[in-house]
Amino acid sequence: MSLLVVGSVALDSLETPFGRREEVLGGSASYFSTCASFFGPTRVVAVVGEDFPEEHLAFLSSRGADLAGLVRQPGRTFRWKGRYDFDLNTAQTLDTQLNVLATFKPALPAAWRDTEFVFLGNIDPDLQQSVLDQVGKPRFVACDTMNFWIDSKRASLLETLKRVDLLFVNDAEARQLAGEHNVIKAAKTILGFGPRAVVVKRGEYGALFFSGSEVFAASAYPLLDVFDPTGAGDSFAGGFMGYVARCGRMEPDVLRRAIVVGSVVASFAVEQFSLDRLRTLTAAEIRARYAEARQLAHFDDLEPDLFAPGR
Ligand code: AMP
């Protein structure tokens, strides 16, 4: 399999009702590659500054990220500061410093131009397109975004959407992008922008998948301990894309399981700050929680003689 991500590698400062952390490892490409590489090596296209700790790079490659497309440039690393109030579903951005991301021009190693599966992580949509320009004929392209880009780069984002197979968004982003309150209608509107499928992530309420007339709902794994929701979306996408790339096909049965795999992987990511829970996560734990999720969603058919006569 060949799977590539372009996204941010960041130093995050986070406040949740359970505590705070300063300048910890974050970024869409970090979460994505750590989760996707449970299923195979993941190519990372990203930029960091001179101040980015070497130990974070060592960690990412120890988990299976191929960092041949990650460059270190003069200047400071991208920084994001976010806060979650008691409703852990919505992040409040306190500060975004693009730093080296502002001038980043992604350049794919020549050997990566044949990549089959591509994930355009949450990053400037111009950069997302420049990566797509450099891959020959990908079999499947998925994309993520956030309110920051929907606000500031809407026209460019709509260009990206014409070129992707699947968009991952959370419900607030779906509403904002479509200009439509109802999430189902918003998803239909987004399908009209170009992607063949849309996954709407709804935090603790699970995820909805839309493609053509097909809808699939997966509930989130009911967690007792949500510590830091940062990276849930990228972890979801990492589990999803890693699994799809590993299967090597995009039929509905694979995509359905991929949504559950994504939810399960994301459920681990939020149990501790930053990528900390992912540092110790094992394939056996993912498999066990997938089995629990399956059990949770299972119900039998109704009895044939259930209803009163004549009804
Ligand atoms: P999520 O999976 O949506 O929670 O993504 C969280 C990650 O996105 C954090 O680790 C941030 O470093 C990163 N991030 C936040 N804002 C941006 C932005 N404008 N561009 C790129 N990455 C961002």
Nearest CA to ligand 1 atom 9: 27
Distance 121 CA to ligand 1 centre (A): 9
**Amino acid 232: pLDDT:** 94
How many percent of the chain have pLDDT more than 70?
A: 100
Amino acid symbol at 230? T
Q: Say whether 83 sits in a helix, a strand or coil.
A: strand
Pick the residue with more confidence: 85 or 182?
182
Predicted confidence (pLDDT) at residue 269 exceeds the cutoff of 80: yes
**Amino acid 45: pLDDT:** 97
Residues 45-70 as b/e (b if ≥16 CB within 10 A, e otherwise) read bbbbbeebeeebbebbbebbbbbebb
90-to-8, 82, 233, 240 alpha-carbon distances in Å: 20, 10, 12, 21
How many Å apart are CA 232 and CA 26, to the nearest integer? 11
**Amino acid 222: pLDDT:** 84
Q: Say whether 150 sits in a helix, a strand or coil.
A: helix
Predicted confidence (pLDDT) at residue 89 exceeds the cutoff of 80: no
* Over residues 21-33, mean pLDDT: 98
CB-defined site of ligand 1, < 6 Å: 8, 10, 12, 26-28, 31, 80, 96, 122-123, 146, 148, 230-234
Does the 3-85+98-297 domain belong in CATH 3.40.50.300? no
Torsion region of 257: left, alpha or beta (phi above 0 gives left; psi -120 to 50 gives alpha): alpha
Give residue for tokens 């806060």.
83
Q: How does DSSP classify residue 239?
A: H
How many Å apart are CA 219 and CA 206, to the nearest integer? 4
Q: How does DSSP classify residue 192?
A: T
**Amino acid 19: pLDDT:** 92
Give residue limits of the domains in the chain: 3-85+98-297
CA dihedral 273, 274, 275, 276 (to 10 degrees): -40
pLDDT digit string, tens, across residues 247-266: 999 999 999 999 999 999 99
Q: In the structure, what pLDDT confidence band is assigned to residue 160 with cuts at 50, 70 and 90?
A: very high
The answer to whether 239 touches 201, Cβ cutoff 8 Å, is: no
How many Å apart are CA 64 and CA 61, to the nearest integer? 5
Q: For residue 23, what are the contacts with CB-CB under 8 A and spacing of at least 6?
A: 11, 12, 13, 79
Question: Of all atoms in ligand 1, which is nearest to the CA of residue 11?
Answer: 12
E-assigned strands of 98-229?
117-120, 140-144, 166-170, 197-201, 207-211, 214-218
Global pTM?
0.95
**Amino acid 90: pLDDT:** 79
**Amino acid 138: pLDDT:** 97
69-to-44, 66, 99, 108, 111 alpha-carbon distances in Å: 6, 8, 18, 6, 10
Which secondary structure element, helix H or strand E, spans residue 177, and what is its range? helix 171-178
Nearest CA to ligand 1 atom 14: 27
* Over residues 122-140, mean pLDDT: 95
Question: Of all atoms in ligand 1, which is nearest to the CA of residue 80?
Answer: 12
